[in-house]
Structure 1
């Protein structure tokens, strides 16, 4: 099928980004304010901007797309705000409180804080119903399922208006028949309910993690179903010839049905595409060690890629809920353009995590906001164009920004407005630097060995200051930075994770054969799924991993292996990979100890054809792009410096601009701090490097 376009949509807390690529390699970026009360409205508004620029109808654009991809915060917002569906849990009798006991664990940083409140239970105690059944750790049945207990739970759920049910039994991963029979009863008695089975969603050892994951999935499933149904119907009405794809937290695409069944994969949907985009824009420079940072209106997201492989998390506490399924490791903190400045009880200035969001937004938006935000500070400092953002579609009011900073921060602290604004800039940068250190230094990486890639509309104003603080000497900042996550979606592949439990010691041929058989079994499911989705065998790839440990250890580590046959010969290769991984994580290995496997996992990819890479032509002398000079602040003394301002649309490939300088792209403003030089590459990215001192 011949098509003209590919569309990526990334719904953030403040803006929804749209990236439209055509077959020639041209990529266009559009922004619309997010509409949390009706996320599909932002999509309509964004398509309106696209039709306005292209001069063709939304129906023409959508019907001529080979893929329409949507990254959404719907699931994340529902979990943050505890606005998921009314959920019931059916579990093994005696395990009704495992969600509340939480393995006796408090999150890091609060372990010894007696006043730290317990997590909000998304399934209240009276809707957690225990049923008589018991499977032992060898998979044998000790107590048969009491079907009357399941029916009693259904009667309660019906009377309470429960619309989604999670079922999770002890050792169901070794004997799932009890869960399956319970599911049959629930479907008979509650035909409209959405069901999540722990042994299907997360077939891995660890009962608490499996139950918590199943509950979160069930809690979000009706929300995601309503959203997916609305979006799918809207795109079908516009003539879409392919199903809408949704971006998953594991860094891959999935169709809407998969996102409904596996809603837990939608939690970090938006920022999970940043690593793919970061690697893509760094390819022309031969860089494979990448830190991607995305500062939007509400949050600041950080991801790390080492040797072309992005960190994946499993079995983590996310928003205080244990989630076992694989997710791109994203460090998120409340530091965005809308982050609010305030004074704490000790009289010290703080930034965030509370945000003005898109409604009312920063004071400078003129929509009723009165709190000073990062955007207000950047406007006061001279970094942002007072004529407005997004090509003037979002006008800014410098007077309101100054008043907010003056009344709430500068006057109470006895500072000038400029010094207070620079203090806001410095503090929010320090918060972001601490976040970058958590994914680098605290995990054994030296950030100076990495390239810093900027994404998000607000990042470009801060990125040279962040790199300076971290000692990073190279920045890659795409022209598409403010929509980089949406761009990451259109270059990503379809991706599904399949898991199985395999508690086996690696000391006999029977164990090797069992592992090999399980891999083949779960991979057959994935291959069949992708073939049904239209992928040819040549476009399907598989990656395998094992959760392994030394016998006697409590926790395991994940080891990537090849897709070779697991037998007595290849097992030595697997063991050696485990020993090396153990040394990387813990500085030692025990090659004399017996190794055991706990879980296995296969990631099955459907490779999607990538759009043609953008190409920027060489332009006229950079002086032709100089549009004005603006007084800007680059130091704590608040002194203003006459700073050249360049029109990014007039800068050609090969142009170099030394700081201090400001480059205004349509959807982002790049602040080049003194001591840095930006050079525009023909691939459409600025390569920003630090000038050597004294040279």
Structure 2
């Protein structure tokens, strides 16, 4: 049996196969119009080089900069947001930190290039209160339906749901998600409590908004790749590298695409640790347009 590692960048796709009789490396040009084509081409050539048949591979670990490139190139989905009334500007205000605090003219990226445009952040009536997560105002389902109708009119196919204090009680987020999925079949829908169930609204909302921004393209890419692998005789489990160097399933990463933002570089840094290779300088990964630098802290 054999194991394969695949790292897709904007310029090159690198592959390695570890078989019983040795380790083989291969590199092909990436195919930005459909990155799965470069992966399949590289796998086919690598299997020929190593003398391994597709059905002899039992694990494929995949790192990719697909989500990273979507973020940096700002070509993600048009996102709609349903949030607690009077709090739709949390994504705009942030933590009130600016690149230059006293400059009135300096660009503030999360304001000039918002993940969710203000017109697409729709407030609804609901309220959950700390510290127990008590529901003091039920979710107004009619307002959720009105928001959905507006999203459909504007052609939005990715929706993030973020309510105050949902980390204490996510009942309203789950309730709204059921409505959105029912009324918008095929849309990408996520909730802030599912993506980042943490204290503080801005951190939770912004992470979930990023997930909705990169989610549709990333989930399509992963499911498309998995289907093509199966159709070409690969029976291996496909696992995706996350930003922290761990791996997860296609299904999990499709729902939480934000965990893949540093998939490739994260896997590289973790590989150095696992293989016991100690270096005394940062590791870097560069493509045609950008560099990624990883720093692994070790005990000397």
Please list every run of 5 or more consecutive structure 1 residues that lacks an aligned counterpart in the other structure.
309-448, 450-695
Judged with a 3 Å threshold, the aligned counterparts in structure 2 of structure 1 residues 132 and 278 are, in CA distance, closer, same or farther, namely same
Deviation for aligned residue 1:41: 2.0
Deviation for aligned residue 1:128: 0.5
Residues 162-197 of structure 1: CA distance to partner in whole angstroms, max 9, x if unpaired?
111110100111121111111121122112222111
Q: Aligned partners of 1:239 and 1:48: how far apart in 2?
A: 11
Deviation for aligned residue 1:28: 1.2
Q: Give the alignment partner of residue 22 of structure 1, picking from 7, 16, 19.
A: 19
Deviation for aligned residue 1:277: 2.0
Judged with a 3 Å threshold, the aligned counterparts in structure 2 of structure 1 residues 244 and 282 are, in CA distance, closer, same or farther, namely closer
Q: Aligned partners of 1:224 and 1:190: how far apart in 2?
A: 19
The 4+ residue runs of structure 1 with deviation greater than 6 A are none
State whether structure 2 residue 120 is matched by structure 1 residue 127. Answer: yes
Q: Give the alignment partner of residue 35 of structure 1, picking from 31, 34, 38.
A: 31
Match of 2:174 in 1: 180
Judged with a 3 Å threshold, the aligned counterparts in structure 2 of structure 1 residues 304 and 51 are, in CA distance, closer, same or farther, namely closer
Q: Do the aligned residues in 2 keep the contact of 1:168 with 1:198 (CA within 8 Å)?
A: yes
Match of 2:10 in 1: 13
Aligned to 1:270, the other structure's residue is in SS state helix
Q: Do the aligned residues in 1 keep the contact of 2:269 with 2:283 (CA within 8 Å)?
A: no
TM-score by length of 2: 0.91
Aligned to 1:20, the other structure's residue is in SS state strand
Judged with a 3 Å threshold, the aligned counterparts in structure 2 of structure 1 residues 238 and 223 are, in CA distance, closer, same or farther, namely same
State whether structure 2 residue 207 is matched by structure 1 residue 227. Answer: no
Q: Give the alignment partner of residue 130 of structure 2, picking from 123, 128, 137.
A: 137
Judged with a 3 Å threshold, the aligned counterparts in structure 2 of structure 1 residues 188 and 104 are, in CA distance, closer, same or farther, namely same
Judged with a 3 Å threshold, the aligned counterparts in structure 2 of structure 1 residues 297 and 195 are, in CA distance, closer, same or farther, namely closer
State whether structure 2 residue 284 is matched by structure 1 residue 294. Answer: yes
Bigger Rg over Cα? 1
How does 1:145-160 map onto structure 2 within 5 Å? 145-160=139-154
Deviation for aligned residue 1:205: 0.6
Q: Aligned partners of 1:116 and 1:67: how far apart in 2?
A: 48
Q: Do the aligned residues in 2 keep the contact of 1:85 with 1:219 (CA within 8 Å)?
A: yes
Judged with a 3 Å threshold, the aligned counterparts in structure 2 of structure 1 residues 63 and 146 are, in CA distance, closer, same or farther, namely same
Q: Do the aligned residues in 1 keep the contact of 2:16 with 2:25 (CA within 8 Å)?
A: yes
Number of positions where the alignment pairs a residue of Structure 1 with one of Structure 2:
295
Match of 2:105 in 1: 115
Match of 1:70 in 2: 62
Aligned to 2:3, the other structure's residue is in SS state strand
Aligned to 1:244, the other structure's residue is in SS state strand
Aligned to 1:40, the other structure's residue is in SS state helix
Aligned to 2:296, the other structure's residue is in SS state strand
Q: Do the aligned residues in 1 keep the contact of 2:40 with 2:229 (CA within 8 Å)?
A: no
Q: Aligned partners of 1:168 and 1:233: how far apart in 2?
A: 32
Q: Do the aligned residues in 2 keep the contact of 1:274 with 1:292 (CA within 8 Å)?
A: no
Residues 271-306 of structure 1: CA distance to partner in whole angstroms, max 9, x if unpaired?
0012222224445xxx5x754412423433332333
Q: Aligned partners of 1:281 and 1:172: how far apart in 2?
A: 40
Q: Aligned partners of 1:295 and 1:156: how far apart in 2?
A: 42
TM-score by length of 1: 0.41
Q: Do the aligned residues in 2 keep the contact of 1:290 with 1:305 (CA within 8 Å)?
A: no
Deviation for aligned residue 1:52: 4.7
Deviation for aligned residue 1:125: 1.3
Q: Aligned partners of 1:82 and 1:246: how far apart in 2?
A: 23
Deviation for aligned residue 1:143: 2.0
Match of 2:197 in 1: 203
Q: Aligned partners of 1:113 and 1:12: how far apart in 2?
A: 37
Q: Do the aligned residues in 2 keep the contact of 1:73 with 1:267 (CA within 8 Å)?
A: yes
Q: Give the alignment partner of residue 294 of structure 2, picking from 303, 311, 327.
A: 303
Q: Do the aligned residues in 2 keep the contact of 1:293 with 1:300 (CA within 8 Å)?
A: no
Judged with a 3 Å threshold, the aligned counterparts in structure 2 of structure 1 residues 62 and 111 are, in CA distance, closer, same or farther, namely farther
Aligned to 1:83, the other structure's residue is in SS state coil
- Aligned-residue Cα RMSD (Å) equals 1.9
Residues 609-649 of structure 1: CA distance to partner in whole angstroms, max 9, x if unpaired?
xxxxxxxxxxxxxxxxxxxxxxxxxxxxxxxxxxxxxxxxx
Q: Give the alignment partner of residue 85 of structure 2, picking from 71, 93, 96.
A: 93
How does 1:90-489 map onto structure 2 within 5 Å? 90-107=82-99, 110-119=100-109, 120-138=113-131, 139-282=133-276, 287=278, 291-298=281-288, 299-307=290-298
Judged with a 3 Å threshold, the aligned counterparts in structure 2 of structure 1 residues 68 and 149 are, in CA distance, closer, same or farther, namely same
Q: Aligned partners of 1:248 and 1:80: how far apart in 2?
A: 18
Deviation for aligned residue 1:231: 0.6
Aligned to 2:165, the other structure's residue is in SS state coil
Deviation for aligned residue 1:89: 0.3
Residues 327-371 of structure 1: CA distance to partner in whole angstroms, max 9, x if unpaired?
xxxxxxxxxxxxxxxxxxxxxxxxxxxxxxxxxxxxxxxxxxxxx
